Structure 1
Amino acid sequence: MSDVLDQGPFFHGTKADLHVGDLLMAGFNSNYRPEIVMNHIYFTALQNGAGLAAELAAGDGAPRVYEVEPTGAFENDPNVTDKKFPGNPTRSYRSTEPLTITGEVIDWPRLTPEALQQWHERLAALRADERGEIIN
């Protein structure tokens, strides 16, 4: 592991239908800037954060939250930590190594339709603002 001070459990939100033992890997398009292929796989120690990611993920599938285990070193996600915000209040991480799915969280807090619409509007504004870059 790395020197990150978080033991988990860890979660990843997506619209993909996956199973225990499947691997999540880097190399897919960003949910927030689809023209960018991501060099990392992202995860969090907060179910709500993974739920938000699941709700906002690209695709037509149902939003899902999976419990995951990093297979290698990971670091604080610079998109939401010290380079943009102090500390790591979202307990968000990223890795170039795969994550193993260890289970699915069935009963996670869902966004209201209004809150989800507000998030989609925020993302649309970020996409329109060239300064809303992703640290890849």
Structure 2
Amino acid sequence: MDAIEDVGPFFHGTKAQLMVGDLLSAGFRSNYRPEVVMNHIYFTALLSGAGLAAELAPGHREPRVYRVEPTGEFEDDPNVTDKKFPGNPTRSYRSSAPLRVAEEIIDWPRLTPEALQEWRDRLAALRADGRDEIIN
């Protein structure tokens, strides 16, 4: 993995209820492509990006955002930086090492129901066009 200079803070969005000290690790099914088991755990340095991931995560639980600390090396998320946003303006990363939960972020920017539906529609269109390989 290439060395990354971003020092965070870093965030992870999910619908899982976690505790400070919990470790998030690879090896689980993708939020966006459930047929894929992930080799990496994904995170971002943008609170809004983690919020979007939390909102779009499958399930009926409440979306949650956590500040996380990488426990090992990490790299730019190639699904975003190579295919959509060269230079990584989304500050999206992935690691094969676990992330440690440092705290739950309570006050994060939520999407309006309309904006959330627009994102869901975009993802559905990518899947329908067979272009969902660019989604984690």
Band of TM-score, shorter chain: over 0.9
CA pair 4-125 structure 1, distance change in 2 beyond 3 A: same
Q: Which runs of 4+ in 1 moved over 2 A?
A: 82-85
Aligned partners of 1:74 and 1:96 also within 8 Å? yes
> Equivalent residue for 1:98?
98
> Equivalent residue for 2:44?
44
> Equivalent residue for 2:11?
11
Question: One-letter code of the match for 1:54?
Answer: A
Question: One-letter code of the match for 1:13?
Answer: G
1:59 deviation in Å? 1.5
> Equivalent residue for 2:119?
119
What is the root-mean-square deviation of aligned Cα atoms in Å?
Answer: 1.6
TM, length-normalised to structure 2 = 0.94
Q: Aligned equivalents of 1:131 and 1:118: distance in 2?
A: 17
> Equivalent residue for 2:65?
65
Q: Aligned pairs, how many?
A: 136
Gaps of 5+ in 1: none
Aligned partners of 1:32 and 1:127 also within 8 Å? no
Aligned partners of 1:25 and 1:99 also within 8 Å? yes
1:87 deviation in Å? 0.5
1:23 deviation in Å? 0.5
Q: Which moved more, 1:121-130 or 1:16-25?
A: 121-130
The percent identity for this pair of structures is 77
Question: One-letter code of the match for 2:117?
Answer: Q
Note the alpha carbon deviations across 1:93-128, whole angstroms, 9 max, x for none: 000110000000000000000000001111111222
Q: Aligned equivalents of 2:38 and 2:134: distance in 1?
A: 9
Aligned partners of 2:33 and 2:135 also within 8 Å? no
Q: Aligned equivalents of 2:2 and 2:86: distance in 1?
A: 20
Higher helix share: 2
SS in 2 for 1:121: helix
> Equivalent residue for 1:29?
29
Gaps of 5+ in 2: none
1:109 and 2:96 correspond: no
Aligned partners of 1:67 and 1:105 also within 8 Å? yes
1:2 deviation in Å? 5.5
Q: Aligned equivalents of 2:95 and 2:129: distance in 1?
A: 26
Q: Aligned equivalents of 2:95 and 2:110: distance in 1?
A: 26
CA pair 62-135 structure 1, distance change in 2 beyond 3 A: closer
Q: Aligned equivalents of 1:124 and 1:42: distance in 2?
A: 21
